[in-house]
Amino acid sequence: MIKLLIIFLLGFPHSGFCKTVKLGDSSFQNKKISFPSSQPEVRRSSISCFDNADCADNQECVALQCENVCKNSICLTGTYCIAAGQERPHEFKCVQCVIDAHCSKGLFCDTDHTCKKEDPCKNAVCPEAAPYCLPEPYKTLPYTCVQCMTDEHCPPVAGLSRSCIEGNCLFNIDGNIPQKFREKVPEKTVPVEPDPVQSYGESADDYENGYDEEVSNYDGEYPDYVEEENDLYY
């Protein structure tokens, strides 16, 4: 009876049935059993800062993480956030533009983060004979190529000096430079001395003092012409 019971149990597998494997089976040896940890693993990389000093200048410490200062920034409509720079680390500022797409058509975003008109001379191609560019349209071009911008761009030729006149190097000879561009030399003026003015405004006191002085110095002798004039009356 016991034998029949053993045979019956061996004929039907159950939950406690254990599979037999062949020794040296690689499929069984490569299988690993992982056991769940009772405590979560704390990774060191989850904490990047404790204050702003632990982060780069364009970042700030938020919840123990270094984040870009513009992530939580608030700028008015039409302005954009950038890092304030080394002078104000871990801060942001709002600017007019960051890229060209932030500007209107025909404008570009300059390095100071303001929208400016495109410089027509930026990509200008000028010949060697006129290597300097003026932002003025010429025929079909948005710019003009000229010989010079200043007199320093016009060195002497054959011993003759030249001047830069309206983008051209002109020789400094008579009749070659238009009158309106000639340097005006101030005329030398000779100071006019005022005419000597005779003084007739002596006061009565000065006149009397002078008369008294002449009388006191009189020695009683008259000139000859005075004596001859007195003889006419006798």
* Tens digits of residue pLDDT in 181-208: 776 433 434 455 555 555 555 555 555 5
pLDDT tens sequence across 65-80? 999 999 988 999 999 9
DSSP 90: T
Beta bridge partners of 62: 65
Which tokens hold the place of 43?
């990774």
Helical (H) or strand (E) element with 162: strand 162-165
Per-residue pLDDT at 176: 86
**Contact of 147 with 133, CB cutoff 8 Å:** no
Predicted confidence (pLDDT) at residue 55 exceeds the cutoff of 70: yes
Which tokens hold the place of 166?
């309206």
Predicted confidence (pLDDT) at residue 5 exceeds the cutoff of 60: no
DSSP 220: S
155-173 burial, b at 16+ Cβ within 10 Å, e below that, comes to eeeeeeebbbbebebbeee
Mean pLDDT value of segment 105-131: 91
Pairwise CA distance, residues 108 & 118, whole Å: 6
Query: How distant, in Å, are the alpha carbons of 81, 89, 91, 106, 124 from that of 85?
Result: 12, 6, 8, 28, 33
Pairwise CA distance, residues 125 & 224, whole Å: 104
